[in-house]
Structure 1
Amino acid sequence: MNRELKYALGKTIPIMFSYLFLSMAFGIMMNQAGFPFYWAYLVSLTVYTGAFQFVIVSFLSAGAGIATIALTALAMNCRHMFYGVTFLKEFKSMGKRYPYMIFSLTDETYALYCSLEYPEELDHHQVMFDIAWLSRAYWLIGTLVGALLGQIIPFDFEGVDFCMTALFVTILIDQWKKTEDHAPAVIGGVSAVVFLLIFGASRFMLPSLMVTTALLLIFTPGENILKTADDRNNVSGNSAVGKTV
């Protein structure tokens, strides 16, 4: 096992536990809906979008149209258009891995990318790629295991989805401790609460993200954004030099 893979494996352990349990629940739901085990695996292989995969079980059972499924997927996952921009240039610099990095970006991997401090001797692009495929592997393995076990043993996974909430709270606390500037967390938190009260739990995400993004762009100086990009480029350069040496 190379150093990058070993480092990525250690950092994705929290994601592993979350993804395995949730994807197993999805596999079991697909089985209970009357679909063979390989259908659950194929959905996870091609869709890979957590919460929407649980919704798609009902759509497939009801024979919903492609347009309905596509629009619902867009509404539930539009947040990726906002935070995905953060790593767009970095993903492009990864060459052939660029399309896969976009496809495999999830809430959990994004949070992990933002919180990691890469050792200088490691190729941080390789670490990010290892995090991406490892996380997806956890989800695929859990889906297959859940679909197979669902044919044999009935499970009750009620409340298991809270492990995702616990993961994000842990990452938030870790980031709060590491940085002195708490404005982004406060702005995001206040925006989420305000729009949750206005629009309710099913509709608050998109307006909350739009307002949070706008406020951060307004109150974040341009030179700080450029500095962050330069810092990432320097880390990449240092990693490449370290591996060459």
Structure 2
Amino acid sequence: MKRNELKHAFKLAFPHTIPVLTGFLILGIAYGVLMSSKGYPVIYSVLMSAIAFCGSMQFVAITLLTTLFNPLEAFLLSLMVNARHLFYGISMLEKYKGFGKIKNFLIYTLCDETFSLVSSVTPPENVEKKYFYFAISFLDYSYWIIGTFLGGVLGSFITFNTTGLDFVLTALFVVLFIEQIRIKQNRVYGFLGIALGILSLILFGASNMVIPTMISVLIVLLVWRKWVCN
């Protein structure tokens, strides 16, 4: 019975993950190619994606792995790059409540794209929520690993200029953002995020704007929820 429920959940979840599928395959291939261009075999790229699974930080890690290693600098940089997951995790506590052992996997595989889907897609009535969310998380996780594997293999046989490949990560975020603001009720939050991002850019500069932007967005949304939505 459980196997049938999971199969049904994957069937219903797959159409929602198609944008992530296309983005992660391209992005994963780019990452695999970049790793290969630095001399790392396919298995290292795949293990990095399967264990670390941190998208943008994996691209940053390529530089860290190919220069003089500084553990403290790597830790602080990882913390800053992935600080946004603190906010994602907090917002998912209630949604993932009571999911049992599946919750551990959902937490481990939570990324920007999965968060975007899980927070905006309502599970169909004929499927259990935890299986539906598990299917989305597992599919997105698999797309990234498969893309990395393909990129590592291609990078072993094809040599070309890899300059600009890491921009596909930014492109994927833009596509996901556009998909979100196409929904009318999400537009005010989307443009609010843009405004606060620009303000943080002006005040803190491009290299220090991410964390101030996330904190300001959280504060504004909390105030909005308290005074406007109640």
1:239 equivalent in structure 2: none
Equivalent residue number for residue 133 of structure 1 = 138
Q: CA deviation at 1:223?
A: 11
SS class of match (1:91): coil
Using the size of structure 1 for normalisation, the TM-score is 0.83
Deviations 1:134-192, CA, capped at 9 Å, x for gaps? 101001011111111101012556353353133223322233x2x2x754334322111
Verify the 8 A CA contact 1:111 1:171 in the aligned structure 2: no
Match of 1:68 in 2: 73
How many Å apart are 1:65 and its aligned residue? 3.2
Distance 2:80 2:170 in 1: 22
Tell me which residue corresponds to 2:173. 165
Output aligned runs, 1:1-245, within 5 Å.
Answer: 2-156=7-161, 158=164, 159-175=167-183, 177=184, 179=185, 182-221=187-226
Shift of the alpha carbon at 1:82?
Answer: 1.2
Instruction: Work out the percentage of aligned pairs sharing the same amino acid.
Output: 29
Give the C-alpha shift of residue 63 in structure 1.
4.2
SS at match of 1:120: coil
Distance 2:76 2:154 in 1: 32
Residues 4 and 126 in structure 1, CA contact (< 8 A), matched pair in contact too: yes
> In the alignment, is the contact (CA less than 8 A) between 2:102 and 2:130 conserved in 1?
no
Contact between 2:181 and 2:190, CA under 8 Å: does it hold in 1? no
Task: Work out the CA distance in 1 between the residues paired with 2:168 and 2:22.
Answer: 11
Partners of 2:26 and 2:9 in 1: how far apart? 26
Count of residue pairs the alignment pairs up:
222
What does the per-residue CA deviation read over 1:6-43, in whole Å, with 9 as the maximum and x for residues that have no partner? 11111101001111111111111111111121111111
Q: What CA distance in whole angstroms lies between the structure 1 residues aligned with 2:190 and 2:171?
A: 21
- Which runs of no fewer than 5 residues in structure 1 stay unpaired? 226-245
Task: Please name the residue that 1:234 is paired with.
Answer: none
SS of the residue corresponding to residue 21 of structure 2 reads: helix
Q: What's 1:242 paired with?
A: none
SS at match of 2:150: helix
Q: Structure 2, unaligned stretches of length 5 or more? A: none
**Residues 212 and 161 of structure 1: CA distance in aligned 2, closer, same or farther (over 3 Å):** closer
CA distance in 2, matches of 1:193, 1:14: 27
Distance in 2, Cα, partners of 1:196 & 1:16: 31
Question: Shift of the alpha carbon at 1:92?
Answer: 3.5
Task: Please report how far the alpha carbon of residue 96 of structure 1 lies from its aligned counterpart in structure 2 after TM superposition.
Answer: 0.3
